Amino acid sequence: MKRRVVVTGLGAVTSIGIGKDNFLEGLYEGRSGISRISLFDPAEFSVQIAGEVKDFNPEDYFDKKEIRRLDRVEEFAFVAAKEAIEDSGLDVESEDKERIGVYVTSGIGGLTSLSEQFNVLKERGPRRVSPFLITQLIIDAIPAYIALQYGFKGATLSAVAACASATQTIGEAMLAIQRGDLDVIVAGGADAPIVELAVAAFASMRALSKRNDSPETASRPFDKTRDGFVMGEGSGILVLEELEHAKKRGAHIYAELAGYGTTTDAYHTTAPDPTVTQIKRSMLMAIESAGVDKNDIDYINAHGTSTPLNDKYETKAIKEIFGDRAYQIPVSSTKSMIGHLLGASGAAESVATVLTIDKGIIFPTINYSEPDPECDLDYVPNKPREKEVHVALKNSFGFGGHNVSLIFKKFKD
């Protein structure tokens, strides 16, 4: 039999709050973290808004020497990981560190450092480029840094699947614990893409909302007037643990991670497949691997990007799987509040999903004001809802046709 995997720790760094409690408060308030970009002057850009992590001072967490060595994305990941590990109550020094792994990823990696050092190269020459650039840039340096700080010697992994990266990494962590490879895995993702080059590139793709005059209402998943996603930044981390290991040390169990499915459209580099065949298959694979029936699903944390096609096709897939019952399942989008954290989005949203199960309150999809006939499900518009959630489906989709789904369950011994 597969070993059971539970969630025992949570950490978050987002535009609506640093720390899981502040994140949770922001979710239930329906607070928007979207504002005019302050990390650079966006005056010449067609897109001038993003979900920045506010009041994040690296000196609160790292000494000055360490700050010079780290990219913003590594800082986010470590702060969230530290919180999650402390939240789990794990006595790190008494554990077998060879049985603890770190599966943390990013969609793009250290863009801040790359942008800065490219300018150094052009303005000051090759000899002035930082020797730390490579470890600031590469994605697998993120879990390596966390492992180094705690001495964790189990496997490290960064699955990169565009905007489904963290969700896939969490799924792979679940499988590793189920197989018996590891007992504990610090899992999730981080991204810090709000730099000039990335904003310009995504804007050129026409992927981003241009509601510069109303940042707080720009991310509006499933609303008829949606015009693109809003870039966000931050991190979400979960401590995943084998059930008996967690019980033995008396850990608080937030939820059980029971299912994982992943597929590829093989259709287009950016657009989702209109047939939604592989989106549906990833969802059904997760449901089957969790050992639940599709009729057990009583909440869906959507990918919900606020783009015209993604929201339409995710809705279509849900309706084709669940039939008439689709209209009875609450669906909400975390991105309506924090924007799209790219590769880290599924991690922050998994934290939100677990908190929904733990607290019995479904957070809203904010900025939902004008119904779309093609997006006609229950999106929990604008206000939170008290509801006991037993089985939640979490979806993430990414450029390149990546589709990943997870199943979280209320824990029952």
Examine the residue annotation and report whether 163 is marked as an active-site residue of this protein. yes
What does residue 410 show for φ and ψ, rounded to 5 degrees? -65, 135
Half-sphere exposure of 158 (CA within 13 A, CB side): 25
* Beta strands at 361-362 and 385-386: parallel, antiparallel or unpaired: antiparallel
Q: What phi-psi label fits residue 342: left (phi over 0), alpha (psi between -120 and 50 degrees) or beta? A: left
User: Can 303 be counted among the known catalytic residues?
Assistant: yes
Buried b (16+ CB within 10 A) or exposed e, 90-123: beeeebeeebbbbbbbbbbbbbbbbebbeebeee
Is 375 annotated in the active site? no
Measured distance CA(86)–CA(76) in Å, rounded: 16
Write the single-letter amino acid at 312: K
Residue owning tokens 């709000």: 194
Distance from C-alpha of 75 to C-alpha of 310, rounded to nearest angstrom: 30
The span from the CA of 25 to the CA of 69, in Å, is 32
> Cα–Cα distance between 403 and 302 in angstroms, integer?
12
The catalytic position among 245, 340, 375, 402 is 340
Helix axes 72-88, 111-124, angle to 10 degrees: 150
163, 245, 375, 402: which one is catalytic? 163
Ramachandran quadrant class, 97 (left: phi over 0; alpha: psi -120 to 50; beta: rest): alpha
DSSP strands (E only) in 248-313: 255-264, 299-301
Catalytic (active-site) positions:
163, 303, 340
